A and B are shown apart, each in its own frame.
Chain A
Amino acid sequence: MTDDSATKAKDTAPTGGLLFQLKRLLRIREGMLLLILAALFVAMSFASEYFLTWGNMRAVLLSFSTEGIVVVGMTILIIVGGIDLSVGATMCLAMVVAGKLFLMGMNPWLASVMGVFATGFAGFVMGLFVTRVGLGFFITSLAFFGLLRGMSFIITEGTPLSLYSMPAEFKYIGQGTFYGVPVVIIIFFVVAILGDILLRRASAFRKIIYVGSNENAANYAGIDVRKVRLWTTVLCSSLAGFAGIMFMARLGVATPTFGIGAELNIIAAAVIGGASLNGGKGSVLGAILGIALLSLVTSSMILLDISIFWQDTIRSLILLAAVSIDHLVNKHR
């Protein structure tokens, strides 16, 4: 048995052809999302003259920028093989801790750092339960979902903290603009681009992909799997905390009920963007396109005068469609 050209041929990808290139673009999740977004843009610019205005674009970007920061963290966590159902409560905890400390007289910047630190610590403890006790991400974060929300209620005693007395330069990060572009959007783009580059190129972040793709392989390569999982959890929680602070600066209030249900939108965006709940697969760029799509659809519905009650239904249908298409396209590879 000396010839195995048949086996080898199977492992050689064919190339060339316009149709093939298009198919390949569709197979890459980012390519598919870009095409859908483009189609939506064209359709909507005919349907509503207001759609293609800077005002509308700015509103759409603003609507997902802060949540988009959490999407970056969530995507990375899903890639390592985890999931965090508590990110909504985590955002809230950061804002409540920072708001409370500020009202107690602390410098708002320091209070914000403390808020992010608190959520990072919460992520650390959650990561310990996962990596040291050996619980699953799903159940651990479900417990933290209630735990962190409960802490926000305890800290605020159930009433929103009014933060109108915050200094203007702090409000600037949430409400200000830089050459006409809201600072929130700029910060989001910095986080997203940094996240995407790091995940593609940085040695430390490649380890996340290896661990998510095959834990054994990573272990044999000398990677400390538990450490990688732990710090990815901390990263995701800290980014959620950071987003919470941004919301606080933007809204000027810290509400204990803030961010309820946000985790669904965030996880949906990551998955629409190509992140696999089995780990190992996904990209920050895809996830950003995913949340952009969800926000654009919402805003289109408003422009088209579709009842707000349809939002959740349509969003979920998009999620189902994206996952189904991906599954069907990749099944016959």
Chain B
Amino acid sequence: MSQAAPILTLTDICKSFGPIEVLHDVSFDLRPGEIHALAGENGAGKSTLINIIGGVHAPSSGEIRLRGKAITIASPLDAQDNGISLVHQEIALCPDVTIAENVLMSEIARSRAWFVNYGKIRRRAATILSKLTSLSPDMRLGSLSISNQQLVEICRALSQDCEILILDEPTAALTQSETEALFRLLRELRDQGVAIIYISHRMSEIYKLCDRITVLRDGRRISTDNVADVTPDEVVQKLIGRKLEALYPPKSRSPDGPVLMQVSGLSDGKKVHDVSFTLRRGEVLGIAGLIGSGRSELLHAICGLKARASGRVTLADGADFSPQRYSDAVRKGVVCLSEDRKIDGVFLNLSIAQNTSSMRISQVSTRYGFVNRHLEHQQAETLGRRLNIRAASVQQRVFELSGGNQQKVAFARLLSVAPRIILLDEPTRGIDVGAKAEIHQLLRQLAEDGIGVIVVSSELSEVLGLCDRVLVLSENRVSGILQGDDLTEENLVRLAAGRARGNSNRKEAHHD
């Protein structure tokens, strides 16, 4: 454990946005050669704190000392000049230009030369990229998958020879192997004396990677400890300020209920091939697999968001279920929660009530077709209580809520049509531990109430902890179904990677 003098010290930082104070007297120090985890639920103030360090926001009060000298960090450019690099949680890259230009954008921006030296930019970008990935610097960024864009985002931060590197949930979209490559690189940088702040919701990552951990809650610093000195349970307790009964609700008591949905030989001609499974009453069915294995596409092919090429889906009564479009599926009680909350899940600039009524506005309308505000609010309040949505009122607009509460609004919207089957794509991505546990509880409750629940998740612990049975996809086909004692991390990883490994040579040759 390095005990060098801190490179960065924040003292009594406060920050308010309008009347809302989001940071209160937060003190924080960072030493060269350490990886310092910053943990906290959504809304705890992590992002605000790192945005202050990164020059995006200015603190309302408090002192920032860098290498012992008090400074103000006025802009992102200013932060870069002070050796501070920030990897944002949300991908902020230009889709219309090459990877190389994205990686070295700040260098181009501040260049004194009249013309961009593309040869040099290309070579430098290639060097930086090679540390993490085999991507070519000449590709247009917009053509990359999310996980590769995330890698470019990280490379962009590495392009400056920074002394302080801040990463905000960098692994959210990465595969296991990419995550491991990133960890190797971060350890290497640490050993070279770089000070790293690492934000993650994943406890296992913090324990694998970090030296110290600072916990924030409600805008205040709760603690700073050596990671070796605290247990994960203690950290979780500090995060949420109370004891979690258990991280996941108990599994189904009646796993062999009647069939709710039967999928046989479903294909979409591209990303889903010959998938068959049954969904039973009372269970939570998981769908696991690597990014690109066809998980989301499978959900979309079931509920009419994507056209099917072949295959058959039947519902509980044996009736054929082949929606031409999503609205058909909704009418029959099959609803889907999309992966990206901000884009597809909720209307950010509408109120909670307007969101919850939006899926079937006729439910809250008079017979002349006008919306009945009273009914609309009543519906939102009922669903809000059921889901424990924390908001000032149902008229509050959704963008003002925390991520976890936004996700609950998205859920409320689905539940407003009293669905028989709900398909969920990454239902807890990017939301905090507390809200996550609540959503898991809710899913279990829905399953027990007889609603079919299918969950796609990239998070191993969620798949293992929440689901009764798990369908594993590999290269767009089913590679196995796990349940009971077979539902282990080893089996999941083996099935998810198995086919891909065996066929990788043929696959690559095909693309040459």
Contact = CB atoms under 8 A, between A and B. Distances in A.
Given A2-B497, A214-B92, A220-B76, A7 B292 contact: yes
Nearest to B458: A1
A6 B292 contact: yes
B245 interface: no
A327 interface: no
A217 interface: yes
B110 A222 contact: yes
B114 A203 contact: yes
A4 B111 contact: no
A253 interface: no
A6 B76 contact: no
Given A2-B497, A222-B76, A210 B105 contact: yes
A11 B175 contact: no
Interface in A6-21: 6-14
Given A7-B290, A10-B292, A210-B105, A203 B116 contact: yes
Nearest to A12: B511
A5 B504 contact: yes
Contacts of B507: 5-6, 9
A132 interface: no
A202 interface: yes
Contacts of B76: 219-222
Contacts of A6: 290, 292-293, 475, 500, 507
Given A7-B145, A210-B97, A222 B178 contact: no
Contacts of B92: 214, 216-217, 219-220
Interface in B89-145: 90, 92-97, 101-102, 105-106, 108-111, 113-116, 118, 134-135, 139, 143-145
A23 to B, nearest CB: 15
A216 B90 CA distance: 10
Interface in B484-512: 493, 496-497, 500-501, 504, 507-508, 511
A4 B493 CA distance: 12
Nearest to A228: B109
A222 B106 contact: yes
A227 B278 CA distance: 58
A14 B511 contact: yes
Nearest to A223: B109
A209 interface: yes
A11 B139 contact: yes
A311 to B, nearest CB: 33
Interface residues of B, number: 53
Given A5-B504, A8-B134, A210 B109 contact: yes
Interface string A255-297: 0000000000000000000000000110000000000000000
Counting chain B CB atoms within 10 Å of each CB, the highest count among A7, A204, A220, A223 belongs to A220
A72 B281 CA distance: 63
Contacts of A12: 511
A281 to B, nearest CB: 5
Nearest to B114: A202
B110 to A, nearest CB: 6
B97 A209 contact: yes
A11 B145 contact: yes
B512 to A, nearest CB: 8
A213 B141 CA distance: 11
B176 A1 contact: yes
Contacts of B109: 203, 207, 210, 218, 221-223
A9 B293 CA distance: 12
A206 B108 CA distance: 8
B135 A2 contact: no
Given A10-B292, A213-B96, A213-B97, 5 more contacts: A1-B493, A7-B291, A203-B109, A210-B109, A216-B90
16 contacts: A1-B493, A3-B497, A4-B500, A5-B504, A6-B293, A7-B148, A9-B507, A11-B148, A14-B511, A203-B113, A217-B94, A217-B105, A218-B94, A219-B76, A222-B106, A223-B106
